[in-house]
C-alpha cells in the first residue's frame, strides 16, 4: 500500500521558521542507516542547540573553576555564571525569588528531594499521599518508599479510556488525613495535559501542599508558578533543549526553609563541629558538594534559546505536528492510538496491529526515524490499556510536517514487513 499524505492545507501553515531553527541543531544533519535523521524522541531527551553547546564549551575552556569557594577571578566568574543560570530558571518558571530555585540532577532527583526533605519530616503513619494513574515512575516510587517507611497510604486518581484524570474522583480521594499531592503536568506516556491549575486549587482547599512534575510540560507550555500557586515544581534540563545531568526544583521559600536537607556535605553548611552543624540558607542547603556547573550554565543558555523562539510559538507549532500526526496515524488500518485526551502536548503513543513496539522502533530506525519503544517508565499507564509497551513519537520545535509524513510512510513499511 502506498502512503499518501492527507491533503489538508491547514496543516501546511507552519507556526515557526523551522528550516532556520533546524540549522541551530547540528545533530539533525546526521544520517542514520544512510537516511536523514528524523528525530521523534524529544520526550526522552531533546536535542541541544549550538547556543547551549557553545556556552558550555566557553565555560570549560575559559571560565572553569569551582563555585562559591574562592576569591580568585575564575571562581568569581564561574559563580556569577552559575547564579545567573539560577536567575534564568527563576524567570522561566515565573518564581518570585532566586532562592526558591534549587539545582538538581533532574526531575527525578527533585521529587526525591521533596520526598526526603518534606515527606520524611512531616508525614507519619496513616497519612495519605495523592498521586495519579498517569505518573512516571519517578513520581510513584519515591512516594511508595515513603509509605513503606512511615506507614502512610498512597491514593491514586483514576483516569478514563482517553487518558484523562477523573476530577470528581480526585475530589473524593481527600480526607482528613490527606497530607500531600504529587501530579504530572503532562503525561510522558500519553501526552495528556492535566488541568493542574484546578487541581492545585483543590489540593489547597483541602490543606494539602502539591508538587507538580513538569518534566514534560516545560518544553511545550508556558509555566508561571506564582499564577499556578503550586508549592513545588520540577523539570529536567535535557527535556528543554539543555544538557543531561541538571534540572531544577522550584519550592515556595517558606516550605524550603522548614525542610530538612536532602544530602550532607560541603557548601550546604554554615558551621560544622563534631557536636553540631548549622545548615546554609536556601537554596544552598539542598546543593551539597560541587554542582554540575557547566550543565547549569548550559541549561541557562538553552532557556535563553527557548525564550527567544517563544514558548507560545513552539506550542502552536507542536500542536500542528500532533494534530497532523494524529490524523495520519488514525487513518492507517490496524494502528491504534493510545491516549486520546482532548488536551495533549507533543506526544503520540500507538500500536501497529500485533507488531511488538520494539520491532516497530527497529524497522523505523532502518528508515532513519528515531522513536521510543517500551513502557516509558509508566507501567501503570500501560497496564490501564492492557499493553506491555507502546511505540511513542514525540515532537520538538525542530520537527516538520514532512517528518510526520515519513513516520506514517515508515509505519506502512512496518505493516508490509509483518503483513
Residues designated catalytic: 377
Candidates 249, 237, 266; CA nearest to 66 is 266
Q: Cell 532502518 maps to which residue? A: 366
The three cell numbers locating residue 248: 531544577
Given a contact cutoff of 8 angstroms between Cβ atoms, the answer to whether 115 and 140 are in contact is no
Which element (helix H / strand E) includes 36?
A: strand 35-36
The torsion angle over the Cα atoms of residues 208, 258, 119 and 138, rounded to 10 degrees, is 90
Q: How far apart are CA 157 and CA 130, in angstroms?
A: 7
In 265-286, which positions are buried (b, 16+ CB within 10 angstroms) versus exposed (e)? eebbbeeeeeeeeebbebbbbb
Strand partners of residue 131 = 156
CA distances from 29 to 39, 219, 311, 395 (A): 11, 22, 24, 17
Q: How far apart are alpha carbons 150 and 156 in whole angstroms?
A: 18
Q: What DSSP letter does each residue of 129-194 carry, written as one string?
A: EEEETT--GGGTHHHHHHHHHHT-EEEEE-B-TTS-B-HHHHHHH--TTEEEEEEESB-TTT-BB-
Neighbouring C-alpha atoms within 13 Å toward the C-beta of 76: 3
β-pair type (390-394, 369-370): unpaired
| Residue in 208, 233, 234 with CA at minimum distance from that of residue 152 | 208
Helix (H) / strand (E) containing 204: helix 196-205
Tell me the CA distances in angstroms from 220 to 72, 147, 243, one per residue in order: 40, 32, 17
- Whether omega before 186 lies within 30 degrees of 0, making that bond cis, reads no
Neighbours of 391 (CB within 10 A): 27
Amino acid at each position: 500500500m502506498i502512503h499518501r499524505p492527507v491533503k489538508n492545507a491547514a496543516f501546511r501553515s507552519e507556526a515557526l521558521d523551522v528550516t532556520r531553527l533546524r540549522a541551530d541543531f547540528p545533530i539533525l544533519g546526521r544520517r542514520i542507516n544512510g537516511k536523514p535523521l528524523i528525530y521523534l524522541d524529544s520526550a526522552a531527551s531533546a536535542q541541544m542547540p549550538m547556543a547551549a553547546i557553545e556556552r558550555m564549551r566557553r565555560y570549560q575552556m575559559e571560565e572553569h573553576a569551582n563555585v562559591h569557594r574562592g576569591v580568585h577571578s575564575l571562581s568569581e566568574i564561574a559563580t556569577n555564571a552559575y547564579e545567573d543560570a539560577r536567575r534564568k530558571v527563576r524567570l522561566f518558571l515565573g518564581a518570585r525569588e532566586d532562592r526558591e530555585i534549587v539545582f538538581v540532577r533532574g526531575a527525578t532527583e527533585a521529587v526525591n528531594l521533596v520526598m526526603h526533605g518534606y515527606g520524611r519530616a512531616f508525614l507519619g503513619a496513616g497519612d495519605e499521599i495523592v498521586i495519579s494513574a498517569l505518573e512516571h515512575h519517578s513520581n510513584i516510587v519515591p512516594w511508595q518508599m515513603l509509605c513503606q517507611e512511615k506507614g502512610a497510604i498512597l491514593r491514586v486518581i483514576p483516569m478514563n479510556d482517553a487518558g484523562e484524570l477523573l476530577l470528581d474522583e480526585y475530589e473524593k480521594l481527600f480526607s482528613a488525613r490527606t497530607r500531600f499531592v504529587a501530579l504530572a503536568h503532562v503525561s510522558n506516556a500519553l501526552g495528556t495535559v492535566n488541568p493542574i491549575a484546578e487541581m492545585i486549587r483543590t489540593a489547597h482547599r483541602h490543606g494539602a501542599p502539591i508538587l507538580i512534575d513538569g518534566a514534560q510540560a516545560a518544553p511545550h507550555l508556558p509555566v508561571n508558578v506564582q499564577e499556578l500557586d503550586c508549592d513545588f515544581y520540577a523539570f529536567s534540563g535535557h527535556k528543554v533543549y539543555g544538557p543531561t545531568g541538571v534540572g531544577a526544583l522550584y519550592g515556595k521559600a517558606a516550605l524550603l526553609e522548614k525542610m530538612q536537607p536532602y544530602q550532607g556535605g560541603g557548601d550546604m553548611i554554615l558551621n560544622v563541629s563534631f557536636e553540631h552543624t548549622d545548615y546554609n540558607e536556601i537554596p544552598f542547603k539542598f546543593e551539597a558538594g560541587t554542582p554540575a556547573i557547566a550543565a547549569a550554565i548550559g541549561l541557562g543558555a538553552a532557556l535563553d534559546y527557548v525564550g527567544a523562539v517563544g514558548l507560545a510559538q513552539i506550542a502552536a507549532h507542536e500542536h500542528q505536528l500532533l494534530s497532523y500526526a494524529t490524523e495520519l496515524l488514525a487513518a492507517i488500518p490496524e494502528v491504534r492510538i493510545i491516549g486520546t485526551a482532548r488536551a495533549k502536548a507533543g506526544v503520540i503513543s500507538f500500536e501497529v496491529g500485533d507488531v511488538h513496539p520494539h520491532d516497530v522502533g527497529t524497522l523505523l530506525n532502518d528508515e532513519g526515524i528515531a522513536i521510543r519503544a517500551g513502557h516509558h517508565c509508566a507501567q501503570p499507564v500501560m497496564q490501564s490499556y492492557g499493553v506491555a509497551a507502546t511505540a511513542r513519537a514525540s515532537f520538538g520545535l525542530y520537527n516538520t510536517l514532512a517528518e510526520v509524513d515519513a513516520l506514517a510512510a515508515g509505519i506502512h513499511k512496518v505493516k508490509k514487513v509483518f503483513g
